[in-house]
Amino acid sequence: MLLKTTLLLLLFSSSMSWSVVANMRPNILVVMTDDQGYPELSVHGNPVLQTPNLDKLHGQSLRLTDYHVTPMCTPTRGQLLTGIDAARNGAVNVSSGRALLRSEIPTVANYFGDAGYATGIFGKWHLGANYPYRPQDRGFQESVWYPSSSIPSVPAYWGNDYFDDVYIKNGHNEPFKGYCTDVFFDEAKAFIKKSANRNHPFFCYLATNTPHGPFFPKPQDRELIAKRLTDPQFDHFSDDLKSRLAAYLGMIVNIDANMGGLMKFLDDEGLSSNTILLFQTDNGSLLGPRYFNAGMRGKKTELWEGGHRVPCFIRWPGGQLMKPQDIGGLTQVQDILPTLLDLCQIKH
């Protein structure tokens, strides 16, 4: 509660009018990438990767510079979607029956759906693949997702490999054309457009599977990073590291391009001003300690800062937030849900 209150105070200037917020009925768009750590943004000093669109969002946003999640994806997802600590919500690990979000706990989709919002999830869920744990059981009216931790995992549709895969759409397997991340962004945009055309405010949760392993980038994105790594300044990197970075960072090149397309889409549809766009990642960097870790120690699954300090950008042009700037107060993922509910004047 203390951190949530702190976050609210940090977000607003002293002249902010709560009545303005109540009348706006803002849309909510939460984008969370998988295994992209704090170091994997060029605005954070990454020496290999260029992320011009995420850097642009950074410049338009309030940046929570001391923002923390859990060192693994499932606990972060459960805390984001419920506002309740993993030890209480049940989603404490990524496997072994400990990635199930307790069914009696309401999710963000329940809160926003009950308040009249259209709710949709596109991409990674990883909080239970059977009734009553699936997205469609947890308040999401529209869903395109896949079971377990990665698209080619054992529970997934046989043969899925990031390209032209089969995902679960509103409870039924459906084939999709194209690269996985492109599909999830396209489906999210279709949901947003449909909601806006119906004059429904929306809550959209866009959770990419990339850059989580296995590393299957688009060939052109892999080649872009591989070419960059031929620069003599990277001669001290091993061939194995260069190969892994080309694939890992190549997937982030695609994420960045999709973020640019998403922001343009919001502009073109006249939705940018009244949409709270939140970008974050789910845990620390996977490869950071091997090439660049933004001054932190540790990585994904580890309890050092590099395992759980991640980027969090919040943009709401029409919301009368403070001007774009870094915010250094301690904040964490568990407080996002109650903060969004307060911003939208939804009781909880």
Quick one: how far is CA 264 from the chain centroid?
A: 18
Res 22: pLDDT: 41
Res 16: pLDDT: 44
CB 111 within 8 A of CB 341: yes
Res 166: pLDDT: 97
CB 133 within 8 A of CB 145: no
CA distance 193 to 144: 16
Going by CATH, does the domain composed of 2-10+28-343 fall within 3.40.50.2000? no
CA distance 56 to 34: 20
CA distance 186 to 28: 17
Residue (of 25, 324, 82) closest to 205 by Cα position: 82
Res 309: pLDDT: 98
Res 183: pLDDT: 98
Determine the Cα angle at 155 with ends 146 and 150, to 5°: 50
Domain-wise residue ranges, the chain: 2-10+28-343
pLDDT tens profile 303-338: 999 999 999 999 999 998 999 999 999 999 999 999
Res 14: pLDDT: 37
Q: Is 290 exposed, middle or buried (0-12, 13-18, 19+ CB in 10 A)?
A: middle
pLDDT tens profile 28-74: 999 999 999 999 999 999 999 999 999 999 999 999 999 999 999 99
**Spans in the chain with pLDDT lower than 50:** 2, 13-22
Res 3: pLDDT: 58
